[in-house]
Amino acid sequence: MTTKILRRAALAAAIGSISNGALAAGFALQESSTSGLGRAFAAENAIGDNAAILARNPAGSALFDTITISGGVTYVNPEIDAAGFTEYYALTANGPFPLAEPLYAEANDYASSAWVPNAYLAVPFNDCWSFGLAMNTDYGLETDFRASWPVTHIADKTELISVNIAPSVAFDFNNTFSIGISANFLYADATLKSKVPSDFIINPDFSDLKILDADGDDWDYGWSIGALWRINERTHIGISYQSELDPKIDADVNSDLLPAFNNAGQIIGTFDGERANLTLDLPDTLELGVYHRFDDNWGIAFGAMWTDWDDFERLEAFFPNQRVGDNRISSYNPFQIKEENFSSGWRYSLGLEYYPCDEVTWRVGYAYDEGAARNGLYDEETLATGFDVTWRTLSIPDADRQWVTFGGTYEINNQLSIDGGLAYLWGDDETIQEFQALPVSSDFTLGTYFNGGTTNLEAWLAGVSLNYSF
């Protein structure tokens, strides 16, 4: 292949890599508090044992008689392994023609560990009105494949960091029913990278060439509303809703291969700080929590959260400066990256609390978390390519997950307490089959097919936090 030919193919390669990277943000993080971690986040919007309830329910500030703060951090250590065969084909009029023997490769522990912090403030004004402030993260992921992974043009490095800042106000009716509303300000920072594999057997001269290196950020805003019903001192019911968000990541794009055009439609080189806007539809959620304390020693919590992943249908990008005259270049605007058609799902959680004395609380929990990636084959893509293609991708090896958790709280005095929590979660191995077609010339297309799946999907979480009442 010549450099010119590979540049013409790189556009299709970038489509797959952007899709996988951006869609990694589809993983919603549950880690809003350490006390919640211990009970698998069951009834996190209803219990209100500390100010962290504000992450799930803006009505929660009504529970506190004095100014209360909470802050902590959760360490998330995921381990995702994948393995499979990569096949390269020449896609001809007579069908696919193999260009090399299938390559078997393993990608071990390609999801990076992370620290997930949080901080909360609840301020009562009087018997009716209260103010809250929540700062936590709802979405985040980092995956990083080694340079020799034979499909780094499909899945290489993806990083998303988000921070949600939510001021809220709540009104309380007779210490029984409260309602609250918050404004949610989301900051998202994304890094997406793809490149030619370091051992590119089709033509080693192109090994390690950078296909896409995009880095950008954006602010977006939404809202939440919640209600909390304290039937009595022992029974709480909470319901809360958080609106969808759609940040448009303003990114700078660099590439060794993607062609850049001038206003006359002529190729003037490759992308060097080219501006791009990546759209990302983050789902709205609805959560129900029920907590009941049976007696002085035992309490139970139940939670159910619905996440509207159906809104996440596709990912698109726009390159506003790529124009011919006054018209946008159609291959870039919009950049139809990939159809995903995620599926909405539920998360169910059950927690048990034991209070051996006034100073100590012990917690255990279990949760079942439905994944967003659809099972089975993407029929249209399968029919179009002649290869079985799954909805599930390497960068989003999503699956139904189960959680088991343990934690506790120790009250140092009437004002200060410390929480600790530990969780283990796992998912079943899933089949992943991906295909990418690179148009090399008018009569020749290079096809890359990955046929494999995940071989391990698990994570350990550990958290600690402090709570203080003035």
Residue 19 has pLDDT above 60, yes or no: no
pTM of the model: 0.88
The CATH number of the domain holding residue 377 is 2.40.160.60
* Structure confidence by residue, pLDDT tens digits, 251-286: 888 888 778 888 877 888 888 888 888 877 888 999
pLDDT at 336: 66
With contact defined as beta carbons under 8 Å apart, do 78 and 427 qualify? no
The stretch 173-202 carries a mean pLDDT of 89
Residue 22 has pLDDT above 60, yes or no: no
The stretch 159-173 carries a mean pLDDT of 92
What are the structure tokens assigned to 170, written together? 């709540």
The stretch 194-218 carries a mean pLDDT of 83
Class of residue 176 by CB neighbours under 10 A (exposed 0-12, middle 13-18, buried 19+): exposed
The C-alpha atoms of residue 151 and residue 157 are separated, in whole angstroms, by 12
pLDDT at 1: 42
The C-alpha atoms of residue 37 and residue 221 are separated, in whole angstroms, by 27
Give SS3 for 342. Answer: coil
**pLDDT averaged over the chain?**
86
Residue 67 has pLDDT above 80, yes or no: yes
The C-alpha atoms of residue 393 and residue 389 are separated, in whole angstroms, by 9
With contact defined as beta carbons under 8 Å apart, do 137 and 165 qualify? no
Beta strand extents in 345-388 (DSSP E only): 345-357, 360-369
Residue 328 has pLDDT above 80, yes or no: no
* Structure confidence by residue, pLDDT tens digits, 103-122: 999 988 888 888 999 999 99
Greatest extent of the chain over all pairs of C-alpha atoms, in Å: 78
Q: What is the CA radius of gyration of the chain?
A: 25
- Band the pLDDT of 27: cuts 50, 70, 90: low
- Band the pLDDT of 202: cuts 50, 70, 90: confident
- Please state the φ and ψ torsions of residue 270, each to the nearest 5 degrees: -115, 170
Give SS3 for 392. Answer: coil
pLDDT at 337: 62
- Spell 48-64 as b/e; 16+ CB within 10 A means b: bbbbbbbbbbbbbbbbb
The stretch 228-236 carries a mean pLDDT of 94
The C-alpha atoms of residue 272 and residue 252 are separated, in whole angstroms, by 8
User: Which residues, in sequence order, are bridge partners of residue 447?
Assistant: 89, 437
pLDDT at 10: 40
Check residues 243 and 191 and name the one with the higher pLDDT. 243
The C-alpha atoms of residue 223 and residue 233 are separated, in whole angstroms, by 29
Give the Cα-Cα-Cα angle 423, 58, 232 (nearest 5 degrees): 85
pLDDT at 141: 75
pLDDT at 203: 78
Q: In which domain, by residue range, is 303 found?
A: 3-469
Q: Percentage of residues in the chain with pLDDT exceeding 90?
A: 49
Question: Domain tally for the chain?
Answer: 1
pLDDT at 470: 94
Give SS3 for 183. Answer: strand
Give SS3 for 17. Answer: helix
pLDDT at 338: 63
> Which of 373, 386, 285, 347 has its CA nearest to residue 20?
373
Residue 382 has pLDDT above 60, yes or no: yes
